[in-house]
Structure 1
Amino acid sequence: MPDKSIKLLTYNVHSCIGNDRKLDPGRIASVIAEAEADIVALQEVDVLRRRTGGVDQAHVIASLLKMQAHFHPALSIAEEQYGDAIITALPTGAVKAGPLPSIGEARGALSIEILVGDRKLLVVNTHLGLRGRERIRQMTTLLNSGWLRGPSDEPVPGILCGDFNAIPSSATYRLAARSLTDAQLAGSAAPRATFPSRYPLMRLDHIFVTEGLVVQRATVLQTRLTRVASDHLPLLAEISFA
């Protein structure tokens, strides 16, 4: 594991159902393996849902990659769950997970402390709502109520990532950009759209970093595989400690 930088991938996997309507968690794992990501933030993950064959998608993808999965259900109906996951082979510490203020579909966030060499890194993964006012409340919660702070309130360098359902001209994006750095602006020649995967028009998926972190590069992965595996393209950033 490089001590200097880590590769983080954020990916809305659409319940592992591709644009060809094929259900294939293995395909998602292949995308992640090809990217050589150290930390993976997934949104729209199904766990024990009848519609996707009753499997634990977070666990299946993690085991194919020889990593560990941490999953938080934004939505639970009996044993069926749907939500966000963070997958990594790096040692992990404190975990925080919970709901975000939601108007429509229930939304949540998952935060994990990850050890990179002898440094601590906080990774927060989320999938924000579809309404503008709802997203602003959710982003305000993530920025203000301890999500991006260590368990004892110590300042730990952090990453906030996921599907924000928000384009860069939106109030939600601007709220995040006020105190955090957009990895695509810091680490790529020109920011690229992530949705829809076949003909990307909108930049909805984001990686933001706090002070103490430097983005080396950021890329939206556009390959034959990523264009079919999900309706979103994955966003990959290489990040190091300042």
Structure 2
Amino acid sequence: MSIVSAAVTTAVVTSPASASGVEAAATSVRVMTWNIHGSTANIPKLAAFIKRYDPDVLLVQEIQVTSQRNQVRGLAAELGWDTAAERADHVYFGRADHPGAPCGSGDDWVGNAIFTKFPIDKRVRFTLPRHSSCPGAGSVHRSLAGASVILPGSTKIAVWNTHLTVGAGAGRVQREAQARWIENYLDHTVPLVLAGDFNDVQGSTTYTIYPRAGWTDAGKNAGPTLNGKRIDYVWSKKATPTKAVSPALPQPAPGEPKLSDHRPVIVDLTIG
């Protein structure tokens, strides 16, 4: 079954409305994670690309909610999953920092969003550790957004989305502390998915924290996501990966920016 066309294998869900009417328990869920570079994001074109892969759970980093544009609401509307506020039953936005002015103030936010075809019954957000004050290395606030998602058959899965600090030196120290904090916190009995932009490569300390703690690198065979390296991940517990891909992005039209500087990662997971 092609990862482009595959969907939930035992309960195909095409909209939030149909999710509540499906009685058979899902055994396979498609997860897509993508850093969309929100400052230049073309939401309609991003949505068209996302629809090609038909994810059941979409985790987006660097998405913005500002006085000028609400990319969370816009992307939800383009996908047809929800057109209400970003705290609706199928969408959650976990803010992190202020776009263009890290550690500033105001009502404009950039952060991590969770979109799902299935209902969300719980949401939570944490600000991750920082070891430096603003301005300076590692000054951007980072967060972890989580949601409890109810699959068909009332099975629950905990979905987490994050974007760790970038850079070497102080940035690396901070990133490793964030990765450890997340792993220490995520101690649940339900199936777990943790995904996002970890800003580090396979074999790094940031990376090895997770397999040593029993996590599966679900996107291990997906391929590179940024400049020939793989720094975007889907980790899982009690959920077994069956397929993974990091598809190439289409070339932009003349004068238009790329869809993103990152490729997405798309993983099919069997729950249980």
- Smaller-chain TM-score range? 0.7 to 0.9
Contact 1:66 1:89 (8 Å CA) reproduced: no
Task: Give the Cα separation in 2 of the matches to 1:225 and 1:173.
Answer: 30
Write out the 4+ residue segments of structure 1 that deviate beyond 2 Å after TM superposition. 225-228
Show CA shifts across 1:165-200 (max 9, x none).
010021000111212000123xx4xx410003xxxx
Partner of 2:262: 232
Residue aligned with 1:78, SS: coil
Show CA shifts across 1:51-76 (max 9, x none).
xxx11101100111122321011014
Larger radius of gyration: 2
**Out of 152, 156, 164, which is 2:198 matched to?**
164
* Structure with the bigger percentage of strand: 1
Code of the aligned partner of 1:91? P
Q: Does 1:25 align with 2:59?
A: no
Contact 2:60 2:112 (8 Å CA) reproduced: yes
**Out of 55, 72, 79, which is 1:65 matched to?**
79
Partner of 2:248: 222
Show CA shifts across 1:7-32 (max 9, x none).
10000000062xxxxx4111111121
Partner of 1:152: none
Residue aligned with 1:231, SS: coil
Partner of 1:20: none
Partner of 2:184: 144
**CA-CA distance at 1:38 after TM superposition:** 0.7
Residue aligned with 2:219, SS: helix
Q: Does 1:7 align with 2:30?
A: yes
Contact 1:16 1:229 (8 Å CA) reproduced: no
Contact 2:249 2:259 (8 Å CA) reproduced: no
Contact 1:8 1:40 (8 Å CA) reproduced: yes
Contact 2:44 2:78 (8 Å CA) reproduced: yes
Residue aligned with 1:224, SS: coil
Q: Does 1:206 align with 2:233?
A: yes
Partner of 2:218: 183
TM-score (norm 2): 0.76
Task: Give the Cα separation in 2 of the matches to 1:126 and 1:202.
Answer: 18
Instruction: Structure 1: state its 5+ residue gaps.
Output: 18-22, 150-154
Task: Give the Cα separation in 2 of the matches to 1:170 and 1:27.
Answer: 34
Q: Percent identity?
A: 25
Contact 1:124 1:148 (8 Å CA) reproduced: no
Partner of 2:226: 195
- Report how many residues are paired: 218
Task: Give the Cα separation in 1 of the matches to 2:197 and 2:204.
Answer: 14
Instruction: Structure 2: state its 5+ residue gaps.
Output: 1-10, 13-25, 82-89, 99-104, 132-137
* Structure with the bigger percentage of helix: 1
**Out of 56, 81, 92, which is 2:70 matched to?**
56
Contact 2:72 2:93 (8 Å CA) reproduced: yes
**CA-CA distance at 1:100 after TM superposition:** 0.3
Code of the aligned partner of 2:202? P
Task: Give the Cα separation in 1 of the matches to 2:73 and 2:115.
Answer: 9
Show CA shifts across 1:83-109 (max 9, x none).
110011211111111200024211001
Code of the aligned partner of 1:116? L
TM-score (norm 1): 0.85
RMSD: 1.7
Q: 1:208 to 1:26 in 2, by over 3 A?
A: same
**CA-CA distance at 1:148 after TM superposition:** 4.7
Partner of 1:241: 271
